[in-house]
């Protein structure tokens, strides 16, 4: 009897070890990823196209038996797989932890495509790591394009000299206003032009004009309040790199006018203000 009991105990113990071992051998399945939509932010479609200066719409279904720890999204030029800190071109590398602890979720985010992004072919990587250390990834091709832009910037002048206002040596000529664009501003130039030069507005630039303002830095991509001035008789102008006011742009007693020029980023569309005549004496 004692021998039989000992046999039963041995069998029970061995069975317990077997089932415990089986439980330990069971592995948690890796996360399952399904990219549903990847495309232009305004279309909510799956065209795999992003527009510079706009946003990329991403929708991905994730099922993670081991619960989500983190999600990483990478966008990089096709063929480039730099280590972190070695990126030479524009790319996105973002980690999300707000889904941590969930067994399943629909990842729905919009990522901004910077104005610095070069148009071309890119690679999209979506990587999920669960709390068990398992990792799965999904990838897709992505094309980044420039937007269509046929609309020129708008120039609004708020303050300027009065018509044919006279300025003497040491006095300040000023103009202010707002430039705006439906997509993105590219640059603006304000020149003090001598009338007898007979320049067309297209010819006016820093090489033949006293520069009151020249900039590519704006308050926002689509709108910029400007205030520009220059002192009559100043030794240098206000070009991005100030240049000496000598030679063909040297100060003279003559009739001048101020003109504001502005260009957008994508279409190369120029806008021109009216002429604001002044007299230097």
Residues in a beta bridge with 60: 35, 107
Q: Do domains 32-145 and 154-280 have the same CATH topology?
A: yes
- At 159-178, the pLDDT tens digits run 999 999 999 999 999 999 99
Please report the pLDDT score of residue 32 as a whole number.
98
Which of 33-47, 170-184, 196-210, 230-244 has the weakest average pLDDT? 33-47
Q: Which helix (H) or strand (E) holds 228?
A: strand 223-231
Determine the pLDDT at residue 23: 47
**Beta strand pairing call for 172-180 and 223-231:** antiparallel
- CB 94 within 8 Å of CB 37: no
Each residue's pLDDT tens digit, 36-66: 999 986 655 789 999 998 999 999 999 999 9
Q: b vs e for 196-222, b when ≥16 Cβ sit within 10 Å of the residue's Cβ?
A: eeebeeeebebeebbbbbbbeebeeeb
Supply the mean pLDDT for the chain.
90
Least confident of 81-95, 129-143, 234-248: 81-95
**pTM of the predicted model as reported, rounded to 2 decimal places:** 0.72
**Fold classified for 154-280:** Immunoglobulin-like (2.60.40)
Asked whether the beta carbons of 280 and 251 are under 8 A apart, the reply is yes
Class of domain 32-145: mainly beta
Q: Which two tokens stand for residue 66?
A: 């081991």
Domain boundaries, the chain: 32-145, 154-280
Widest pairwise Cα distance in the chain: 128
Count CA within 13 A, CB hemisphere, residue 128: 30
């Amino acid at each position: 009897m004692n021998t039989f009991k000992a046999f039963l105990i041995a069998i029970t113990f061995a069975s317990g070890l077997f089932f415990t071992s089986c439980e330990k051998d069971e592995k948690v399945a890796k996360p399952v990823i399904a990219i549903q939509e990847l495309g232009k932010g305004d279309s909510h479609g799956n065209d795999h196209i992003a527009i510079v200066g706009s946003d990329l719409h991403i929708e991905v279904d994730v099922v993670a038996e081991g619960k989500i720890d983190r999600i990483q999204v990478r966008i990089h030029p096709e063929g480039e797989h730099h280590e972190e800190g070695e990126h030479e071109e524009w790319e996105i590398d973002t980690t999300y932890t707000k889904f941590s602890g969930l067994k399943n979720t629909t990842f729905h985010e919009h990522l901004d495509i910077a104005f610095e992004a070069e148009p071309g072919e890119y690679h999209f990587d979506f990587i999920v790591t669960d709390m068990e250390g398992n990792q799965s990834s999904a990838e897709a091709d992505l094309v980044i394009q420039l937007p269509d832009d046929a609309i020129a910037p708008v120039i609004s002048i708020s303050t300027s000299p009065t018509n044919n206002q006279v300025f003497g040596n040491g006095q300040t000529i000023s103009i202010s206003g707002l430039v705006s664009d439906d997509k993105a501003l590219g640059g603006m130039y304000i020149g003090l032009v001598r009338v007898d030069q007979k320049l067309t507005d297209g010819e006016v630039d820093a090489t033949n004009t006293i520069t009151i303002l020249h900039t590519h830095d704006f308050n926002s991509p689509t709108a910029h309040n400007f205030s520009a001035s220059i002192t009559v008789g100043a030794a240098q102008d206000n070009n991005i790199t100030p240049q000496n006011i000598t030679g063909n742009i040297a100060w003279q007693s003559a009739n001048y006018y101020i003109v504001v020029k502005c260009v957008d980023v994508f279409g190369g569309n120029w806008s021109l203000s009216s002429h604001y005549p002044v007299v230097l004496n």
